[in-house]
Amino acid sequence: MITKYIVSRLDGMGLLFLAVIAAVAIFVPLSNLLLPESSALHVPTYLMALIGKYLCYAILAVSLDLVWGYCGILSLGHGAFFALGGYAMGMYLMRQIGTRGVYANPILPDFMVFLNWKELPWFWYGFDMFPFALLMVFLAPGLLAFVFGWLAFRSRVTGVYLSIITQALTYALLLAFFRNDMGFGGNNGLTDFKDILGFNVQAQGTRAALFFLTALALILTYLVSRWMVTTSFGKVLVAVRDAESRTRFLGYRVEHFKLLVFTVSAAMAGLAGALYVPQVGIINPSEFSPANSIEAVIWVAVGGRGTLVGAAIGAILVNFLKTVFTSGFLAPYWLFLLGSIFVIVTLAVPKGIIGTINGYYERWRGEDGEARWHRKSLEGAAPPPSNETGSGAKIHG
């Protein structure tokens, strides 16, 4: 019953996307664990971790597309929510190190011992327990988004002004987390992780499990987002995006809809950050960089705003190009290429890759439908009902 309901909410592109992600989630870990390195189908551990990072970015892109593509909220601060989720997971991983750290302190992380901290800060309490850390992964970015959104949307801050404020929020957090006295590792951040749930975070099996969980999280994020935008709630979001003042005039509390979707989107971004940290092995203040949030917007624009699938594809595609162009002699030209991609997409394919494909498909289906009607009319079938009314319309008895 539930499966039938979920499938009914998906289109062909969505089903294909989920099938591909599910296949990757199964094939890549099994190939890494079961096939010998000499096999042509073997996926090396470093490549599995790299693809896992791409999938984390895809989750972030889907969360951004939910608010930008369907509600018209251009957030330039989603990198902050991603980083907060990453820090929540990083704090848990740091508490698992214990006496295996450089200074062998059973309570304090190494950076605190180095900075002569005498006791664990209060906001680190509870992070030695995974359920609490998992709760903070969603609660920290979600609560920040809720407070920020309540203040902004209640004041009816919209458009470019809202985008600038979200970027300012990200930059403020960047400066704060760079400070050593904040208790988050300062410039170096959190690293040198050992275990997660008692398993060696560097072990091949653990990395395979993290990859599978990341792919599963991407599937669930897409399903939740798709469910939200295909319900009556999603129709109101689109109305807010296209004509906020008219939607408000019809009696809808626009700020409530925007606040809810913004908070849910931030929690999704936090989940992406939490899955990112154990696979990459570090989280530092650079993740709060406004440039990261702007880059996420480019992912969504390239893949197709308002499509969800396109956002994920755009994130994977752009980051693959980034991997290629930031290695070797091509590294100095990456930012030029990224800017060129954004300009070309904006001018040539403003709907993005998936949006353009959907447009061509809808056009082809419409033309094909008209051709079928024309063929049936020639064979004597009844013509389609006319939408025209007036004195010139004739009724045949």
Quick one: pLDDT at residue 377?
A: 57
| Burial of 86 from C-beta contacts in 10 A (0-12 / 13-18 / 19+) | buried
115 has a pLDDT exceeding 50: yes
CA gap 27, 206 in Å, rounded: 16
pLDDT confidence of 21, banded at 50, 70, 90?
Answer: very high
Instruction: Pick 359 or 5 by higher pLDDT.
Output: 359
16 has a pLDDT exceeding 80: yes
**Which tens digit of pLDDT belongs to each residue from 278-300?**
999 999 999 999 999 999 999 99
Average pLDDT over residues 181-190: 92
Q: Which residues of 350-360 are buried (b: 16+ CB within 10 A; e: fewer)?
A: ebbbbbbbbee
Average pLDDT over residues 21-49: 94
**Which tens digit of pLDDT belongs to each residue from 300-332?**
999 999 999 999 999 999 999 999 988 878 788
Quick one: pLDDT at residue 13?
A: 87
Beta bridge partners of 369: none
The residue extents of the domains of the chain are 2-290
**Alpha-carbon dihedral sign for residues 300, 21, 357, 240:** negative
What amino acid is encoded at 151 in this protein?
Answer: L
This prediction has a pTM of 0.90
**Which tens digit of pLDDT belongs to each residue from 133-151?**
999 999 999 999 999 999 9
Quick one: pLDDT at residue 329?
A: 80
